[in-house]
Amino acid sequence: MGITVVGSVAFDTIETPAGKRERCLGGAATHFSLAASYFTEVSVIAVVGEDFGPAEEAVFRKRNIDLRGLEHAAGKSFFWAGSYMDNLNEAKTRQTDLNVFASFEPKIPEAYANTTHLFLANIDPVLQRRVREAMPQAKLVAGDTMNYWINDHRAALLETIKGLDVLVINDAETKTIAGNSNLVQAAQTVLSLGPKSLIVKHGEYGATAFFSERSFGGDRIIMHPFRAPAMPLAEVVDPTGAGDSFAGGFFGYVASQPELNPQVFRKAMFYGSVMGSFCVERFGTERNASLTREEIDARFEVFKDLTHL
Amino acid sequence: MGITVVGSVAFDTIETPAGKRERCLGGAATHFSLAASYFTEVSVIAVVGEDFGPAEEAVFRKRNIDLRGLEHAAGKSFFWAGSYMDNLNEAKTRQTDLNVFASFEPKIPEAYANTTHLFLANIDPVLQRRVREAMPQAKLVAGDTMNYWINDHRAALLETIKGLDVLVINDAETKTIAGNSNLVQAAQTVLSLGPKSLIVKHGEYGATAFFSERSFGGDRIIMHPFRAPAMPLAEVVDPTGAGDSFAGGFFGYVASQPELNPQVFRKAMFYGSVMGSFCVERFGTERNASLTREEIDARFEVFKDLTHL
């Protein structure tokens, strides 16, 4: 039962028009697991350094996230510094220190062996594939990536995405993988590389899902493209982690359901958008670390109202 | 009954990755009226030159569009040349010849006196307001504009949009009017300038409607923001006129209904997106000049499937 996520747990220094935060808890696996924790059990595989202490651990513990796969290594945790001063839709990276992540070798606790859903957050596609192969019992596997792997580690990346049930990336990444500037054509090309479905995240404009002809679950079901909105927000405090929170809400809801059918996929995308919309309302993990399921479901209804005739 | 539209009827030379067309029929009033003609009676107020002949007139006649307000003047029609070779989402203007439009003085035929719905397509806001004042019987008035008027004729533009029921513009125009790069804040500022509602067109990502607290029709109804998708299209042949076709589908449907309430507004936005999606499938007016209501309603269902849980 539940999701295992492999990815980064990090410290972020973030500057946005709303202010600045030094070394707040961040990382793709962090944002993903917090968002998913409102829907299902979540277990983390990652590595942190000696700077990761009780305060950071408490954020995960409060959400009952399993940290038995969180390795503590000598040295410092992954660190990222970025600014959104010029453009809230795109971070300008000021600094990236891999630190303990540079030599990360994912180790999977035996306790994770009953995981049914696996999320491969944005890390080296070689490691993503190694984790996937070490968890053959996972019946649904989703993953993310970024332009660095697409451009400089293409062969390894294609090998990883080939086996995915759901690939969750953004417009630019989709177009870069395909070498095509038309989103629909690019999506078709990406699907021809193997993933059963592709969710393209459009930032403030929501996300669109595309499906290959291979079905989920038992029966062969033709699934049409589906578009989930983003929430029109009067204030975006910090966009960091919005995409990972989308993935967490999406996959968390999927994992909470007995099967992945078109109706579940659609609702899951709405929950993804909901978690992304909460994430950006505060810095770092502040908002998604302390929500209630009632707040989440109330916003789900707002998303329905925003899109349904 | 029906809509009167004032705006440009023009010839366009268009270059896109799909090919090139010389001097095809175009102009905001043309694209608007063709799209609206599938829903209601449409009457045009515009001016053309001696190059506007029976072939062009036949496009309107075939859709039963009333051309009694189309003035024929000595000289050439408005001409625009643009290219989408670099970016399908934004035209690069190569040439604009106002020609007979430079001295356009809208004249309103008596036969148009029973018009209930008035659309002020993108022209000089002074002319837009003059037409509006000459048609006081119009119970709903919508309009468009562009950055040129926003930047260089701001006072006249603000005077015109103050009285609109629906302002239909794009993201960049909304942000420019408000001087604010956050879309929701910008929309709130634009609404504070007087229009009852604002539809912001996002191109390939659809459109979002925002509402002021003033209601449509009799009862005071709180209307929440609403987002209509665009169609994910594998081939965009020519984006020219997509925004005007959106406005035509939107306002055409509105005019076909006994009142403008939230349900009608939402369905109208879907019909707007439908007409925009057809428009870009061929060059110029080719697609929207020869549709059937059955094709339109079939695509409306596709849009529902694309967005509804």
Which residue of B182, B185, B307 is in closest CB contact with A227?
B307
Residue type (1 letter), B214: R
Residue A40 pLDDT exceeds 70: yes
Give this complex's ipTM. Answer: 0.89
pLDDT of residue B243: 96
pLDDT of residue B213: 75
| pLDDT per residue as tens digits for the range A57-77 | 999 999 999 999 999 999 999
| pLDDT per residue as tens digits for the range B161-185 | 999 999 999 999 999 999 999 999 9
How would residue A89 be classed by pLDDT, with cut points 50, 70 and 90? confident
Domains within chain B, CATH numbers bracketed: 3-307 (3.40.1190.20)
Q: Do B232 and A206 touch (CB under 8 A)?
A: no
What is the number of H-type helices and E-type strands within chain B? 10, 13
pTM: 0.93
The residue of chain B with its CA nearest to that of A208 is: B232
Distance CA A237, CA A282 (A): 5
Q: Do B266 and A188 touch (CB under 8 A)?
A: no
pLDDT of residue A1: 75
Residue B221 pLDDT exceeds 70: no
Stretch A175-197: mean pLDDT: 95
pLDDT of residue A223: 75
To the nearest whole Å, the CA of A130 is away from the closest chain B CA by 35
Residue B216 pLDDT exceeds 80: no
Q: Do B263 and A309 touch (CB under 8 A)?
A: yes
Question: What proportion of chain A, given as a percentage, has pLDDT over 70?
Answer: 97
Stretch B229-243: mean pLDDT: 93
Residues of chain A with Cβ-Cβ distance to B210 below 8 Å are 232
Q: Do B309 and A263 touch (CB under 8 A)?
A: yes
Residue B11 pLDDT exceeds 90: yes
pLDDT of residue A134: 96
pLDDT of residue B144: 97
pLDDT of residue B1: 75
pLDDT of residue A87: 85
pLDDT of residue B295: 97
pLDDT of residue A213: 75
